[in-house]
Chains A and B, each alone.
Chain A
Amino acid sequence: MAEAIFEVFRGDREGGQPATYRVPIAPGMVVLDALHHIQAHQAPDLAVRWNCKAGKCGSCSAEVNGRPRLTCKTRMDALPLDKPITVQPMKSFPVIKDLVTDVSWNYRVNKKIPPFDPRPGTDWKMYQEDIDRVQEFRKCIECFLCQNVCHVLREHDEMEEFGGPRFFVRVAGLEMHPLDSKSRTRLLKDELGIGLCNITKCCTEVCPEEIHITDNAIIPLKERVVDEFYDPVLMLVRKIRGAKQD
């Protein structure tokens, strides 16, 4: 039976190194299958997060041959087998153990976002054409691969100043909800640091749900921030009439 050679990161917060495993290949096998095989037969304490194994929960993110992927959707037959397949934890988050990283920062950012706030007296009628774009944002499975590749987080560690693509997508879903009444543009500008994004589209490229993060979420939100805070005509109007509460 054909075999693949894996080099899987083993280690914890203190550090670590890749360990080598040989795994028999079955038709249609994905990288997560191989990791499970390693657990069952060679390294029972290999730490891996996973749940659905069907690309729906976003738990099994890792870097396969240097590319951020869901391991449950990374087919072995799409990888070159003449050299070892490397599997490493997401780089932008601190390692807990092996392929498991500490993603708790994301949950803290999420708490900053004010929830859906429906317009008073709405009759809850909404039309499909008005919610199509919001439904795109709500496809997000929180795999955090977009956060992992965003250079503001990956290279510059600006966790305190920046929310990251995942949360721009979440805010976009609220801001463009046809019945929402709240404005989150000040939050985007001041607390989530949307200005730091220079739209290199790395996030869009890795999104397993194929959400057009940059074009459909980030750019329109940037425009809203510009309109609200930097438009000279509006600034004048606001000076005269007073600013909208947010």
Chain B
Amino acid sequence: MTTEYETHDHDVLIIGAGGAGLRAALGALAQGARVGVVCKSLLGKAHTVMAEGGIAAAMANVDSADDWRTHFRDTMRGGKLLNNWRMAQIHAQEAPERVRELEQWGALFDRTQDGQILQRAFGGHTFRRLCHVGDRTGLEMIRTLQDRGVQLGIDVYMECTISRLLKDGDRIAGAFGYWREQGRFVVFRAKSIVMATGGIGKAWKITSNSWEYTGDGMALAYDAGAELMDMEFVQFHPTGMVWPPGVQGILVTEAVRGEGGILRNKLGERFMEKYDPKRMELSTRDVVARSIYTEVREGRGTEHGGAYLDISQKPADYVKKKLPSMYHQFKELADVDITKGPMEVGPTCHYMMGGIRVDAETAKSSVPGLFAAGEAAAGLHGANRLGGNSLSDLLVFGRRAGLAAADHSKIAQTTSIDSTQIEEAAREMLAPFERKAGESPYAIHSDLQETMQNLVGIFRNKEDLLRALEELEKLKHRVDHVNVEGSRLFNPGWHLAQDLKAMLTVSEAVTRSALAREESRGAHSRIDHSGLDPTWGTKNNVIVREGSTMTLRQSPVPEIPGELKQLVAEEK
């Protein structure tokens, strides 16, 4: 078989066009690189568009006492000190400049009385820190970045999916993929690739994530030999919609609590008083999610198995102004007027703290030429991410990844791609069409979601995790026999058959890491090992491929230097 494909050449290829990918593209462009951006959806539809609450940056516009040190401390404490301290420091120091830059490119944030960027309170942040636009901050960010990128001349390959990274020896040489529209193959040649592919939420049944969030960037990097880190830390956002069934999991922004929303159980009790009396509703997400889950499990949940979240004590006009999309979302999808009564909310799989292990300064992975930023990368958030730290992460490390990827492409040796890699990638893509009988990818996906939801959820134990590994093994065999109907033309079933492989890889990595970590820390809660174990506080779980076997080892958490250590330790 000789595969037909088109070829494109770039210095830097960026996979993913959310905030991290677009900011990386701008960073690489600034270094004079020829930049290509590949994205699975249309430009401007990536998950960043759904980010609601804001961008965390210690600009001190509202609370003048704020500074990068406090932001650093909040981030480290929120992450239960498992974070890479240097990433947390860079992030806190550079976020304000990245926000100002957005404004200079045309973004319009909500304003303070004296005409500065307004900042709101959020869980785990000591000060009012989130720069925002009502509850549609992500939309503002992605439009600003996309318009700038298009004006400056990035090439965007929309509705194009990468199925394999191509290498020359141990170095990155390019990527193989297909156009969704016609199903034709495409090869990108590039010495640097930035993974900005986001998270993995679609492996769970109840999730705030879109169809794109299948962990493909992490799986591609893993297949190419990169290390994955902190994979046990999956964030369940405390507040997703729970009713009606079709909207289950859709995000209810933390900004509702930031603006004063109160959580109650069916008895009318403000239950956060029990779990975190100091921070109440603005505790960290791991704590609030577990609290709601516990209330429901112990029989104090709402009619549809959630908690009440109430913002109706605020003036209706204020709610509509500050939370317009929440107002419409509940009115149109759930027949609830949030200015008059409470919402019903419950935990939803939302964010992946773990991902591709990268260098703090340059975002480079252990594979030469491969970089990662945003949710696809690990390190900044440790065991739990604070709300608002994701959008700032995308900007800070997206930029750094783009700069470093461009630099790498200038000094790296020329690479070549042998045709056998391409033939193999093509064969793998077409295999589901060859089989005459086999299972539907939708059925396998649904079973995977049940498995992860029931066995690798908010609370975990050894027994469940071992069972999950068995189930995942069975699912892998089923995926080997998946069958696809129809043609290569815009075929979502075919696409899902590819995505399943990535979802299974990351699901296994999550489960193995969760099984190994015999303690409860941040978003990882073991019923059979409750509480922090100090020996685990110095270790990150690292996953790497050896042949076809997934192996796990522990790597020491980089030690925080003296001055910063004091900052994290001292009480306020």
Q: A39-B442, A73-B333 are in contact. Are A174 and B106 (CB under 8 A)?
A: yes
Contacts of B103 in A (CB 8 A): 124
The answer to the question of B64 belonging to the interface, with a C-beta cut-off of 8 Å to chain A, is no
Q: What 0/1 pattern do residues 112 to 142 of A give for CB contact below 8 A with B?
A: 0001101000001111100100110011011
The verdict on B318 contacting chain A, using a C-beta distance below 8 Å, is: no
Closest-CB distance, A172 to chain B (whole angstroms): 13
What separation, in Å, do the CA atoms of A30 and B250 have in the docked complex? Answer: 14
B325 within 8 Å of A by Cβ? Answer: yes
- CB within 8 Å of B: which A16-74 residues: 26-30, 33, 39-41, 44-59, 73
B 223-252 contacts with A by CB, 8 A: 243-247, 250-251
Q: When the two chains form their complex, are residues B44 and A142 in contact, meaning their CB atoms are under 8 A apart?
A: yes
CB distance from A52 to the nearest CB of B (A): 5
Asked if A159 is an interface residue, CB under 8 A from chain B, the answer is no
Whether B516 sits at the interface, judged by CB under 8 Å, is: no
Asked if A177 and B108 make an inter-chain contact with CB atoms under 8 angstroms apart, the answer reads yes
B332 touching A55, Cβ below 8 Å = yes
Question: Would you call B42 an interface residue if the criterion is a C-beta within 8 Å of the partner chain's C-beta atoms?
Answer: yes
Q: How many residues of A contact B (CB 8 A)?
A: 55
Complexed CA–CA distance, A30 and B41 (Å): 22
Most chain B CB neighbours (cut-off 10 Å) among A47, A52, A110, A141: A52
Q: Tell me whether A126 and B45 are in contact in the complex, defined as CB-CB below 8 angstroms, given that A26-B246, A55-B328, A135-B133 are known contacts.
A: no
Chain A residues near B168: list those with CB within 8 A: none
Q: Which of B114, B139, B244 contacts A28 (CB 8 A)?
A: B244
Task: Tell me the minimal C-beta distance from A46 to chain B in angstroms.
Answer: 7
Q: Which of B144-152, B287-295, B380-388 contacts A (4 or more CB under 8 A)?
A: B144-152
Q: Is B104 close to A, CB under 8 A?
A: yes
Q: A29-B244, A131-B111, A138-B133 are in contact. Are A51 and B45 (CB under 8 A)?
A: yes
The residues of B that contact A128 with a CB separation of less than 8 Å are 110-111
Of A79-87, A92-100, A232-240, the segment with at least 4 beta carbons within 8 Å of chain B is A92-100
- Measured between alpha carbons, how far is A29 from B212 in the docked complex, in Å? 22
Does B111 contact A126, Cβ atoms closer than 8 Å? yes
| Known A75-B332, A98-B490; contact A115-B485, beta-carbon cutoff 8 A | no
CA distance A229 to B470 in the complex (A): 73
A54 adjacent to B492 (CB under 8 Å): no
User: Known contacts A30-B333, A127-B115, A138-B108: does B41 contact A51 (CB below 8 Å)?
Assistant: yes
Closest residue of chain B to A118 (Cβ to Cβ) is B104
- Inter-subunit contact B333/A126 (CB<8 Å): no
The answer to whether B45 touches A100 (Cβ under 8 A) is no
Within 8 A of A (CB), among B432-478: 440-443, 446
Q: Which has the most chain A C-beta neighbours within 10 Å: B43, B328, B440?
A: B328
**Chain B residues in 8 Å Cβ range of A139:** 136, 139
Q: Is the CB of A45 within 8 A of B485?
A: yes
Contact A49 B42 (CB under 8 A): yes
Please state if B44 and A55 are interface contacts (CB–CB under 8 Å).
no
A198 to chain B, nearest CB (A): 28
Q: How far is the CB of B237 from chain A (nearest CB, A)?
A: 13
Q: Please measure, in the bound complex, the distance between the C-alpha atom of A174 and the C-alpha atom of B251, giving whole angstroms.
A: 30
Question: Closest chain B residue to A59 by CB distance?
Answer: B45
Instruction: Evaluate contact between A56 and B150: CB separation under 8 angstroms.
Output: no
Question: B140: which A residues are within 8 A, CB to CB?
Answer: 138
The reply to whether B492 and A44 contact each other, CB–CB distance below 8 Å, is yes
Query: Which listed residue, B104, B246, B492, touches A46 by the CB 8 Å rule?
Result: B492
Given known pairs A28-B247, A39-B442, A54-B251, the reply for A48 and B492 (CB within 8 Å) is yes
Query: Chain A 153-170 against B: per-residue CB contact (8 Å), 1 yes, 0 no?
Result: 000000000000000000
Bound complex: CA A104 to CA B486 (Å): 25
- Are the CB atoms of B490 and A96 closer together than 8 Å? yes
Main secondary structure of the interface of A (DSSP, over half): loop
Q: Give the contacting residue for B489; candidates A12, A48, A135; CB below 8 A.
A: A12
Taking the closest CB of chain A, its distance from the CB of B386, in whole angstroms, is 22
Residues of A within 8 A of B493 (CB): 39, 44-45
Residue of chain B at shortest CB distance from A104:
B158
Chain B residues near A104 (CB-CB < 8 A): 158
What's the Cα separation between A139 and B251 when bound, in Å?
A: 18
Q: For B366, list chain A residues within 8 Å (CB).
A: none
Q: Is the CB of A177 within 8 A of B106?
A: yes
Closest beta carbon of chain A to B362's beta carbon, Å: 29
Residues of A within 8 A of B104 (CB): 118, 124
B353 lies within 8 A of chain A by Cβ: no
Give A116 to B139 CA distance when docked, in angstroms.
17
Q: Please determine whether B116 and A125 come into contact, CB atoms closer than 8 angstroms.
A: yes
Known contacts A54-B251, A142-B44; decide if A73 and B108 are in contact (CB<8 Å).
no
Chain B 129-142 interface 0/1 with A at a Cβ cutoff of 8 Å (1 = within): 00001101001100
Scoring B residues 81 to 106 as 1 if CB is less than 8 Å from chain A, else 0, what string do you get? 00000000000000000001001111
Among B50, B111, B148, B441, point to the contact of A44 (Cβ < 8 A). B441
Chain A residues, CB < 8 A from B134: 135
Question: Is A111 positioned at the interface, with any CB of B under 8 Å from its CB?
Answer: yes
Chain B residues contacting A103 (CB-CB under 8 Å) are: 42
Q: Does A40 contact B446, Cβ atoms closer than 8 Å? A: yes
Interface contact B41-A40, CB-CB below 8 Å: no
B108–A135 contact, CB under 8 A?
yes
- Which A-chain residue is minimally distant from B212 (CB atoms)? A51
Chain A residues whose C-beta falls within 8 Å of the C-beta of B442 in the assembled complex: 39-41, 44
Closest-CB distance, A208 to chain B (whole angstroms): 9
Q: Are B246 and A28 in contact (CB under 8 A)?
A: yes
Which of A41, A46, A57, A118 meets B49, CB within 8 Å?
A57
CB within 8 Å for A30 and B246 given contacts A49-B42, A115-B148, A126-B115: yes
Q: Which one of A48, A51, A58, A124 has the greatest number of beta carbons of chain B within 10 Å?
A: A51
A52, B50: Cβ atoms closer than 8 Å = yes
How far apart are A222's CB and chain B's nearest CB, in angstroms? 23
Interface presence of B143 (CB below 8 A): yes
Given A44-B486, A115-B151, A56:B108 Cβ within 8 A: no
* Cα distance, A39 to B485, chains bound together (Å): 11
Residue of B nearest to A128 (CB): B111
A44:B485 contact, CB within 8 angstroms: yes
B238 → A minimal CB distance (Å): 17
B329 interface neighbour in A33, A48, A51, A55, Cβ under 8 Å: A55
**Residues of A close to B151: CB separation below 8 A:** 111, 115
Can you offer 6 A-B residue contacts whose CB atoms are under 8 A?
Answer: A39-B442, A39-B492, A56-B136, A59-B45, A73-B333, A135-B110
Known A26-B246, A44-B440; further 20 A-B contacts with Cβ < 8 A? A28-B245, A29-B246, A30-B247, A33-B246, A40-B446, A45-B491, A47-B491, A51-B49, A51-B210, A51-B212, A54-B250, A56-B49, A57-B210, A100-B490, A103-B42, A116-B147, A125-B114, A135-B108, A139-B136, A142-B44
Question: A residues bordering B, Cβ < 8 Å?
Answer: 12, 26-30, 33, 39-41, 44-59, 73, 75, 96-98, 100, 103-104, 107, 110-111, 115-116, 118, 124-128, 131, 134-135, 138-139, 141-142, 174, 177, 180
